[in-house]
């Protein structure tokens, strides 16, 4: 029997509850037990999770940062994809029609980007509301469709700096991350923010994008963190990067 531990950074990620439900179901059909640990009150929670919204451990040994689904949860124990991720195709940068700051009245648009469809999530809305002015975010639209979202938190270890929690573009033809960040760079500087940091993958878009993509947005590497295992997909290297505004 093993203990599976899921540590998370609060309700920031829409896949958290899905992963918890899947873990409950998996353990109810096996001799394994599970525990859920909320570390969002820790000042360096984002660092402890290597930039991901949650991490899974088996008997205190780190396994993965992947969301848990019925098709991949058995790989928690098997870890059969013992290979390095193949670098994905980087899409051409797209130009947004409009963009706006994330507020309580449009938070569902950011949820729509993440889940590729219209849906409400009370836990996510409550997380955003309770975060107050600690969270700064933006949404970009292609015509009337939300296609990219950026969520950042104020860096608890450094004044006037931001850390990216989630940066995601869901369009299949263009990547809109560059255009969204460009649109709000001046606004961030006007609000006295001088630095943005982000965790990225070397080959995979999870989390936030690839190292080469952020290098094209003038981010530089601070540290090579190590490897993470993505269930049913293989390993990838994670980097911490920063950009001076």
Domains of the chain: 3-78 (3.40.30.10), 92-244 (3.40.630.30)
Interior angle at CA 180, CA 106 and CA 16, nearest 5? 55
Strands 195-201 and 161-169: parallel
Cα–Cα distances in Å, from 148 out to 68, 172, 178, 201, 240? 23, 12, 10, 18, 21
The reported pLDDT for the residue numbered 146 is 96
Give pLDDT tens digits along the chain (245 positions): 899 999 999 999 999 999 999 999 999 999 999 999 999 988 778 888 988 999 999 999 999 999 999 999 999 998 888 888 877 788 999 999 999 999 999 999 999 999 887 677 889 999 999 998 999 999 999 999 999 999 999 998 888 999 999 999 999 999 999 999 999 999 999 999 999 999 999 998 889 999 999 999 999 999 999 989 999 889 999 999 999 99
Q: Supply the pLDDT for residue 112.
A: 94
Question: pLDDT at position 206, please?
Answer: 87
- Say how far apart CA 62 and CA 54 lie, in whole Å: 11
Q: Using a CB cutoff of 8 Å and minimum separation of 24, what contacts does 142-145 make? A: 142/94, 142/96, 142/97, 142/171, 142/174, 142/176, 143/97, 144/97
């Amino acid at each position: 029997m093993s203990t599976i531990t899921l540590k998370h950074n609060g309700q920031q990620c829409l896949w958290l509850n899905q992963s918890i439900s899947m873990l409950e179901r998996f353990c109810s059909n096996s001799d394994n037990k599970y525990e859920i640990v909320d570390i969002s009150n820790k000042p360096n929670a984002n660092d402890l999770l290597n930039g991901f919204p949650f991490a899974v451990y088996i008997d205190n040994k780190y396994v993965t940062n992947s969301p848990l689904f019925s098709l991949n949860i058995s790989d928690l124990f098997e870890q059969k994809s013992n290979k390095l991720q193949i670098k994905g195709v980087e899409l051409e940068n797209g130009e947004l029609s409009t963009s706006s700051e994330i507020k309580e009245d449009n938070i569902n648009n950011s949820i729509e980007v993440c889940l590729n469809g219209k849906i409400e999530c009370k836990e996510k809305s409550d997380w955003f509301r309770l975060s107050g002015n600690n969270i700064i975010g933006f949404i970009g639209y292609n015509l009337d469709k939300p296609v990219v979202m950026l969520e950042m938190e104020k860096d608890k270890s450094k004044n006037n700096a931001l850390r990216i929690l989630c940066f995601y573009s869901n369009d299949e033809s263009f990547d809109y991350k560059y255009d969204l960040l460009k649109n709000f760079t001046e606004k961030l500087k006007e609000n006295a923010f001088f630095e943005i940091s982000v965790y990225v993958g070397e080959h995979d878009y999870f989390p936030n994008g690839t190292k080469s993509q952020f290098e094209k947005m003038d981010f530089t590497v601070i540290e090579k963190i190590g490897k993470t295992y993505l269930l049913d997909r293989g390993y990838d290297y994670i980097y911490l990067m920063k950009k001076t505004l």
